[in-house]
Amino acid sequence: MVSDLSYALDTFYFLVSGALVMWMAAGFAMLEAGLVRAKNTAEILTKNVVLFALSCVMFLLMGYSIMYPGENTGWIPNFGFGIGAENTAEAALSGAEDAPYYSMRSDFFFQVVFVATAMSIVSGAVAERMKLWTFLAFVIPMTAVIYPVQGYWHWGGGPLKELGFSDFAGSGVVHMCGAAAALAAVLQLGARKGKYNKNGSANAIPGCNLPLATLGTFILWMGWFGFNGGSELKVSDVGEANAVAQVFVNTNMAACGGAIAALLMSRAYFKKADLTMVLNGVLAGLVAITADPLSPSAEASVLIGAVGGALVFVSILMVDKFKVDDPVGAISVHGVVGIWGLIAVTFNNSEATLSAQLIGIAAIFGFVFVASSLVWFILDKTMGLRVSEEDEYDGVDISECGLEAYPEFSKR
């Protein structure tokens, strides 16, 4: 039963979780700033700050109401605006079965920071060559419509929900969604100058600041406790509290598994501990467990994360073979491993079926990929996707932001 206190506790829990997810925006910003070259750093920082701001505004204006229309209208949701009215104390304390048990505003706050996460994924993949303003133009349809529509399908009570698709905190709805939009972008955008040689081999373009990238990874790791932990949506009784605790433990253990697997793969292949792979392994572990951080045991979570970490290692090498140039590895980490996470749900959660998972994957990936390809195509024809070769060579910081990220430190 909802009491003043349980309502307060669940709301507070939501707000704390939301603040942690908001913090992930800083994580993406630092991760990406660490993995690009110095000359493209200010631009990616700008992108990360502004995409967060734009995402929040668009989701406030339209996205939230599209994603949570309150009824299942099939694949096409009702379109609406705004975020509705707050719960009254009467409604909350009515004793009714379906009385709201946390603040609507806290729900919006929690949801809105997820949207920004999905957008941040795209940001990294198109780094170092896309026009800033074009990217920002893409944020608008993505966060106002594309993300909310597929979000509605599952979390908003739409057709995927009905089908039994299961994605606890968004391996699919958030991560794979972001990766699909990123892939659509990269395919139209092309690789960075100098990434691939004429003979097809790839060159390494090392990120300029690995402490920043590591900091970003730790920030994301911490924020993920809010991301997954908050997705239980309720903490206020023994069962729910136990569930949230299980989610925290599993989230952490999967990250650990991912890190160790990526490290061992790196040792096996290169005899070295490639830090960038370890960081990707952490993130892969986190993405993998996100689809179901509740059902597995802590030990199983280590394994799910470890498979994610191994997968990301292989995937990054493969993606390079296909000349898909993804400077931060976003497509592998969030896309490939997101799919793995969705499939892994079926191992521990008896209510999930493989077919429902596959349908969900196909629906989300297909829709987001096609819809964003279309948007990117239009943007290409109007604003243009790519900076000029000269601007790319000099760094997009100068051409897009007019400043340098590290003006005093000399560069190679």
Cα 387 to Cα 325: distance, rounded to the nearest angstrom: 16
**Up-side HSE of residue 51: CA atoms within 13 Å toward CB?**
33
Cα 280 to Cα 51: distance, rounded to the nearest angstrom: 22
Binders in 220-249 for a copy of itself, by CB under 8 A? 221-222, 225, 229, 235-242, 244-246, 248-249
Residue closer to other proteins by CB (options 271, 381) is 271
Which of other proteins, a copy of itself, none is residue 342 near (CB under 5 to 8 Å by kind)?
Answer: none
Shortest separation between residue 377's beta carbon and a copy of itself, angstroms: 24
Cα 202 to Cα 191: distance, rounded to the nearest angstrom: 10
3-state secondary structure of 3: coil
Which of a copy of itself, other proteins, none is residue 280 near (CB under 5 to 8 Å by kind)?
Answer: other proteins
> Is residue 384 close enough to count as binding a copy of itself by CB under 8 A?
no
Which range binds a copy of itself by CB under 8 A, 39-47, 174-182, 189-197, 384-392? 39-47
Length of the chain equals: 412
Shortest separation between residue 178's beta carbon and a copy of itself, angstroms: 19
Cα 229 to Cα 235: distance, rounded to the nearest angstrom: 9
Which of other proteins, a copy of itself, none is residue 203 near (CB under 5 to 8 Å by kind)?
Answer: other proteins
Q: In Å, how far are 70, 212, 367 from 149, measured between CA atoms? A: 13, 34, 9
> Is residue 168 close enough to count as binding a copy of itself by CB under 8 A?
no
Which of a copy of itself, other proteins, none is residue 68 near (CB under 5 to 8 Å by kind)?
Answer: none
Shortest separation between residue 88's beta carbon and a copy of itself, angstroms: 8
**The only residue of 272, 350, 382, 390 in contact with a copy of itself, by rule CB under 8 A:** 272
Contact (Cβ atoms closer than 8 angstroms) between residue 281 and residue 261: yes
Size of interface with a copy of itself, in residues (CB under 8 A): 121
Binders in 65-104 for a copy of itself, by CB under 8 A? 82-83, 86-87, 89, 92-93, 102-104
Calculate ∠ Cα 342-368-122, nearest 5°.
Answer: 85
Measure CA of the first residue to CA of the last residue in the chain; give whole Å: 64
